[in-house]
Amino acid sequence: MADTIRTLADLQTLLADNTTGDASPQDVRDFLVSCFPYSLEIPAPAFYAVVGSPALGQTGGLRGSAWHMDAAAEEAVAVTIPLPVGWRRTGTFKVTVYFSMASATSGDVVVRVMGDAYADGANLAAAAVDQSVTVTVPGTAEFLKLQEFSSAITIGATDRMLQIRVGRVGDDGADDATGDLYFHGVSLAVT
Type of residue numbered 15: L
pLDDT digits (tens, 9 = 90+) for 36-95: 667 789 999 999 999 999 999 998 777 789 999 999 999 999 999 998 777 776 678 889
Tell me the three-class secondary structure of 150-186, residue by residue: CCCEEECCCEEEEEEEEEEECCCCCCCCCCCEEEEEE
Class of residue 111 by CB neighbours under 10 A (exposed 0-12, middle 13-18, buried 19+) = buried
* Domain extent listing, the chain: 1-35, 39-190
Asked if 187 and 81 touch (Cβ cutoff 8 Å), the reply is no
**When comparing pLDDT for 125 and 104, which is higher?**
104
pLDDT digits (tens, 9 = 90+) for 20-38: 566 777 777 777 666 666 7
The whole-number average pLDDT for the span 140-168 is 90
CATH fold of the domain at 39-190 = Jelly Rolls (2.60.120)
Q: pTM score, two decimals?
A: 0.81
- Hey, which residues does 76 pair with through a beta bridge? 51, 167
Give me the pLDDT at residue 184, please: 96
> Residues in the chain, how many?
191
Alpha-carbon distance 57 to 166, whole Å? 17
Name the 3-class secondary structure at 10: helix
Give me the pLDDT at residue 135, please: 96
- Hey, which residues does 87 pair with through a beta bridge? none
Q: Which of 164, 167, 137 shows the shortest CA–CA distance to 68?
A: 167
